[in-house]
Chain A
Amino acid sequence: MSDWRVPLTDIAMPEQDVEAVLDCLRSGWLTMGPRTKAFEEALARYVGTPNAATVSSGTAALHLACLAAGLGPGDEVIVPAFTFVASASAPRYVGAEPILCDVRSAHDFNLDVEDVARRITPCTRAVIAVHFCGYPADVLALRKLCDEHGLVLIEDCAQAIGARVDDSARQVGTVGELGCFSFFSKKQLCVGEGGMVSTADEALDASVRLFRSHAMTSSTWDRHRGHDPVYDVVDIGFNFRLDEPRAALGLSRLQRLDESIAARRTIVRAYRERLAEVPGVELAFDEQAVERASHFAFPVLLADRDARDRFRAELKTNGIQTTWYPALHSFTEYQRFAPADGLPIATKVADRHCALPLSSTMEEADIEIVVDAVCSALARI
């Protein structure tokens, strides 16, 4: 089954991107140099943040955000239960405790601000707001809540680069003290493995940069340029650096990001139009959310888990690749993090949703194939 008629994701790699990487390789300078700096400047401009520090992955971005925010043992961090596992691993890397919260509804499955408020204790130090599937969470309300309680707001923008938090041009990653992005191969802006931390706070930015490279006071690049060969190690840092070929690729691809997100949105609208009246499948989110989102994935809802599983099996038989996200507390490793009162909505959404193929390269014919397959699958389950 490796030859899907319509794969879940696909990427375009025009020759200008290939050339950008080859140009970097020909230069012979592969780590933390001029291309990383240029990519970071371009990212900062794109997101609308004063500081963007590239890192090795979205997971590394979240880890560094937790470190920079000073989180540690004894601290609680509120994280939605419906997200990729890295959102909850990050507080654990620094010794803090992830507190799982519920999402708003089956049709708006970002974290529920009221549920976040209910889970605040004297130990709560931060909230990680995930913009799931590219749909912006209500970070403006969370900002207010965090300010009232003196909490740090970390935005997990791994799936949401380019999404907007309201009807202005304000992007995700600029509301929290720290924004964490991913450039993983399936993402809207992809380089393979990669990530980035955005922040308006110079001290937090300095901290992220320090910890991403072993808390060393100078880099190989600085020393190459003739700086003093002596450096100090002032804390326990990591190797979470991006390298130059990936920075070159990211910089080249960033030029087409808006265009690519617009293409994704067009496809999502085409899907929604065709599926709106189809019985047995429900759309998530509303038109306003669709307008603001950057569309990493296109989730739809089935009646229940059984219907969803049979629906996916039918689509698979038809060559259509789909996926779904388990809720964190369903994993062996995270069962013990489930609160006593349960996480009923996250559980339900995890059971009911299914993500259909979505990429900026999809054509009208692909959408037709998927929609036809969806209709025939629904007729058979």
Chain B
Amino acid sequence: MAATGTFPELPLFDLRLEEQDFEAVAETLRSGWLTLGPRTAAFEEAFAAHLGARHAIALSNCTAALHLAYLAAGVGPDDEVIVPSFTFAATAAAVLYCGATPVFAEIVSRERPSLDLEDVQRRITPRTKAVCVVHYAGYAAAADRLKELCDARGIALIEDVAHAPSATLGGRKLGTWGLAGAFSFFSNKVLSVGEGGLLCTDSDEIAAFVRSRRSHAMTSGTWDRHRGRTDTYDVTGLGFNYRLDEPRAALLLSRLERLEVDIARRRELTLRYRGLLGQVDGIIVPFEDADIPTSSCYVMPIMLERDGTQAEVSRRLRELGIQTSIFYPSIHRFTAYRERFPNLSLPITELASRTELTLPFYPHMTNDDQDRVVTALAKVVAR
């Protein structure tokens, strides 16, 4: 197949919905009620129960969730928020939305590309308002120890749980360690809907703030007015339209039922991948087999041992019909961030970004698919 302009035979991700999902969406559309209604409430309730969190608030996407999480933590101009650079740009961009400064911290290593607690500690200043920990690829970062550190210093801990909707640490769901957890339901995610997100929190005050700000800080919603509960409303702050709508809530509610089954399958596949990839020379497979039972196994990352081969390996795999991606380029090396932080150096993060490749991975992947990816990778890396 041609290298560009066509679909890969083995894509990075592939989503399959089921008959019950279609039914749930169809039924919602036929109801004629499309925004912030009973289905959103039902999904929020189910997701909160799933997490063991007091509140779950459905939002338009994870970027919106991060924005509201930072605002809820009181982040504003002159504040600093410590974030990893080895993550999607939204983790840092949402800090800038608040007028604050993202302070980038290192990851532990290429073997464990999670936020490094000690580096976070070094970067705390009197201006540090919050730390955002990303549970990269669905694997728990040290949220427990970060929580202790943040509590001791009077700093808010925010969890970017975009990759990890059912992962745990010490038996506790990720997203529930910090002041707030920000989830993503983007189309390639473990629990996907298209565009969607959610914020969880145990704080009644933060939940009320987030519910207000997601819908223009209006004191009542269309649904309340439809039910005759209120006649008018006030606007009590600068809010946004960060609402999810009912068809997406219905789809999420339907898919949530199979989340654990999906993740169990992801874990099986990840263990099998790890077994095969362990035989391949010239690559590092991050994390350990022991991490798998508590991970949501969102993607399958590997690191190429040899620096400078990433583009070539990616290109050759693409020629063999295998799509790969880079999770993630270092945020601080993007043009928009180099302009703002010209002299920042994070050697471990930068090396990880230069050598990481994310392999095709989805729950209905077959053993043959995996074998093909690993064989191709071994062949390409050997060259």
Contacts and interface: CB of A to CB of B under 8 A. Distances in A.
B34 A229 contact: no
Given A185-B34, A233-B337, A332-B235, A193 B244 contact: yes
Nearest to A221: B187
A31 interface: yes
Given A31-B195, A226-B8, A229-B314, A7 B337 contact: no
A310 to B, nearest CB: 12
Nearest to B193: A30
A334 B336 CA distance: 33
Contacts of B341: none
A327 to B, nearest CB: 11
Contacts of B222: 185-186
Interface in B173-205: 186-188, 192-195
Given A18-B26, A216-B89, 11 more contacts: A11-B34, A21-B25, A21-B29, A28-B16, A60-B241, A190-B34, A193-B244, A226-B4, A239-B90, A242-B195, A323-B225
Q: Is the interface of A mostly helix, strand, loop or mixed?
A: loop
B154 interface: no
B227 to A, nearest CB: 4
Interface in A240-273: 241-246, 249
Interface stretch (B118-126, B261-269, B322-330, B375-383): B322-330
Classify chain B's interface size: 35 or more
A116 to B, nearest CB: 23
24 contacts: A4-B228, A22-B26, A28-B17, A30-B15, A30-B192, A86-B216, A89-B216, A185-B222, A192-B245, A214-B63, A224-B7, A225-B5, A225-B7, A226-B4, A227-B4, A229-B325, A231-B329, A236-B93, A237-B93, A239-B64, A241-B195, A246-B194, A312-B231, A323-B225
B247 A1 contact: no
Nearest to A328: B235
Given A22-B25, A31-B187, A214-B89, A243 B194 contact: yes
Contacts of A239: 60-64, 90, 195
Nearest to A12: B32
Given A28-B17, A243-B187, A226 B318 contact: yes
Given A231-B329, A241-B195, A316-B228, A57 B241 contact: yes
Contact of A2 (B186, B226, B331): B226
Contacts of B29: 13, 17-18, 21, 249
B8 A184 contact: no
Contacts of A316: 228, 231
Interface in A84-142: 85-86, 89, 92-93
A150 to B, nearest CB: 28
B284 interface: no
A85 B245 contact: no
B21 A185 contact: no
A316 B8 CA distance: 58
Interface in B215-237: 216-218, 222, 225-228, 231-237
Interface string B14-52: 111100011001100110111100000000000000000
B19 to A, nearest CB: 10
B110 interface: no
Interface string B280-295: 0000000000000000
- Identify the 8 closest CB pairs spanning chains A and B, nearest first: A1-B228, A192-B245, A243-B194, A185-B34, A30-B187, A233-B334, A59-B241, A331-B235
Contacts of B271: none
Contacts of A366: none
A322 to B, nearest CB: 9
Nearest to B93: A236
B241 A58 contact: yes
Contact of B226 (A11, A244, A321): A321
Given A31-B194, A56-B195, A321-B226, A25 B336 contact: no
B33 to A, nearest CB: 7
Interface string A50-87: 00000011111000000000000000000000000110
A230 interface: yes
A333 interface: yes
Contacts of B35: 184-185, 192-193
A214 B93 contact: yes
Interface string A186-217: 10001111000000000000000000001110
B274 interface: no
Contact of B324 (A229, A236, A241, A249): A229
A141 B30 CA distance: 43
B15 A92 contact: no
B22 A26 contact: yes
Given A31-B194, A185-B34, A192 B218 contact: no
Contacts of B188: 220
A334 to B, nearest CB: 7
Contacts of B34: 11, 185, 190-192
Contacts of A167: none
A291 interface: no
B234 A234 contact: no
B216 A21 contact: no
Contacts of A231: 329
B129 interface: no
Contacts of B64: 239
Contacts of A274: none
A1 B224 CA distance: 10
A234 B335 contact: yes
B241 A86 contact: yes
Given A86-B216, A226-B7, A227-B4, A26 B195 contact: no
Interface in A1-40: 1-2, 4, 7-8, 10-13, 17-18, 21-22, 25-26, 28-31
